């Protein structure tokens, strides 16, 4: 439940509000997650006036301001098709116009397609104050601790990696029961991330070549059972989807 609303016009004011101890205060981008019903009382700091909606190319990186919407992402010409597919799977058209990049990463659970593919791409986030850079993989398990009194100013993903995304869901509109994203760099470095279970997607593999990644994916989901699917089903599906992702990467190399 929102008990206070603030719309500061400077980052300094926003950070001062977030640093308060007397009331739980959180940043708000598009409000798509914070407007959901909750019994927890908190104040919000609206980020709309802070200029955090820029998209910038930095050589082999693209920097996404925290309040860039998911629809803004879909419309970036240089964005890899698999990332666009994951975004469309993350949220329907109307929600994409409100949901922001940082807000999605902060609020996402293990079934988030966007967070899964960003994890495969080894995305980094920049935290204020302090301009601290954190790998997304390090941030996800400790979001409550690392983001207390702070905000994400931008998210960076590489443009020099190929990436693929595959999933299984009960229907095309549902979040995945299992999804896999594979990213590969010109050096041969390969990362496999899995989504569909738990509090956050999991990094299953990060190596200089893809040998052993299917087994690593199966091992990562060997105990991933819940009301949506058994651990055995997720284990086998994780291996199958990883194989599909790697085969698709191989096709793109040979084109």
Query: Rounded CA gap, 67 and 47, in Å?
Result: 7
Q: What is the pLDDT of residue 3?
A: 82
Nearest to 124 by CA among 154, 104, 79, 101: 154
Listed residues 107, 135, 158: the one ending a domain = 158
Listed residues 89, 124, 158: the one ending a domain = 158
Listed residues 158, 180, 198: the one ending a domain = 158
167 and 153 within one domain? no
217 and 181 within one domain? yes
128 and 221 within one domain? no
Classify the C-alpha dihedral 85-250-121-201 as positive or negative. Answer: positive
137 and 70 within one domain? yes
73 and 149 within one domain? yes
Tell me how far the alpha carbon of residue 254 is from its chain's centroid. 29
65 and 135 within one domain? yes
Could you tell me the CATH number of the domain that includes residue 166?
3.30.390.50
Strands 178-184 and 190-195, how do they pair? antiparallel
Could you tell me the CATH number of the domain that includes residue 72?
3.30.465.10
Q: What is the pLDDT of residue 255?
A: 54
Q: What is the pLDDT of residue 32?
A: 55
Strands 132-135 and 124-128, how do they pair? antiparallel
Q: What is the pLDDT of residue 21?
A: 84
What is the full per-residue pLDDT of the chain (255 aa) written as tens digits?
Answer: 788 899 999 999 999 999 988 888 889 876 655 555 567 788 999 999 999 999 999 989 999 999 999 999 999 998 999 999 999 999 999 999 999 999 999 999 999 999 999 999 999 999 999 999 999 999 999 998 999 999 999 999 999 999 999 999 998 889 999 999 999 999 999 999 999 999 999 999 999 888 899 999 999 999 999 999 999 999 999 999 999 999 999 876 555
146 and 75 within one domain? yes
187 and 141 within one domain? no
60 and 153 within one domain? yes
65 and 25 within one domain? no
Q: What is the pLDDT of residue 210?
A: 83
Exposure string of 158-178, with b = 16+ CB inside 10 Å and e = fewer, is: beebbbbbbbbbeeeeebbbb
Query: Rounded CA gap, 110 and 116, in Å?
Result: 8
Q: What is the pLDDT of residue 39?
A: 74
Show the domain range for 41. 2-46
Question: How many residues are there in the chain?
Answer: 255
96 and 73 within one domain? yes
195 and 140 within one domain? no
Number of domains within the chain: 3
**Predicted confidence (pLDDT) per residue in 186-212, tens digit:** 999 999 999 999 999 999 999 988 889
Query: Rounded CA gap, 193 and 206, in Å?
Result: 9
Q: What is the pLDDT of residue 33?
A: 58
Q: What is the pLDDT of residue 30?
A: 61
Question: What does pTM read for this prediction?
Answer: 0.93
């Amino acid at each position: 439940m929102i008990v206070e609303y603030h719309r500061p016009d400077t980052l300094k004011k926003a950070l001062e509000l977030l640093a308060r101890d007397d009331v739980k205060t959180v940043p708000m981008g598009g409000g798509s997650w914070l407007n959901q019903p909750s019994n927890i009382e908190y104040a919000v700091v609206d980020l709309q006036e802070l200029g955090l909606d820029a998209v910038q190319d930095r050589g082999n990186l693209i920097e996404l301001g925290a309040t860039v919407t998911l629809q803004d992402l879909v419309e970036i010409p240089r964005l890899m098709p698999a990332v666009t597919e994951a975004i469309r799977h993350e949220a329907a058209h109307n929600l994409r116009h409100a949901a922001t990049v940082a807000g999605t990463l902060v609020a996402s659970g293990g079934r988030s397609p966007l967070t899964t593919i960003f994890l495969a791409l080894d995305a980094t986030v920049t935290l204020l104050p302090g301009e601290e850079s954190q790998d997304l993989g390090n941030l996800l398990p400790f979001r409550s601790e690392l983001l207390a009194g702070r905000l994400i100013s931008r998210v960076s993903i590489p443009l020099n990696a190929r990436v693929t995304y595959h999933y299984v869901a009960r229907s095309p509109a549902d979040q995945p029961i299992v999804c896999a994203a594979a990213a590969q760099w010109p050096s041969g470095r390969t990362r496999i991330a899995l989504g569909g279970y738990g509090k956050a997607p999991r990094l299953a593999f990060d190596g200089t070549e893809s040998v052993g990644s299917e087994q690593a994916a199966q091992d990562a989901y060997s105990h991933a059972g819940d009301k949506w699917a058994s651990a055995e089903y997720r284990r086998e599906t994780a291996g199958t989807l990883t194989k599909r992702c790697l085969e698709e990467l191989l096709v793109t190399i040979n084109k």
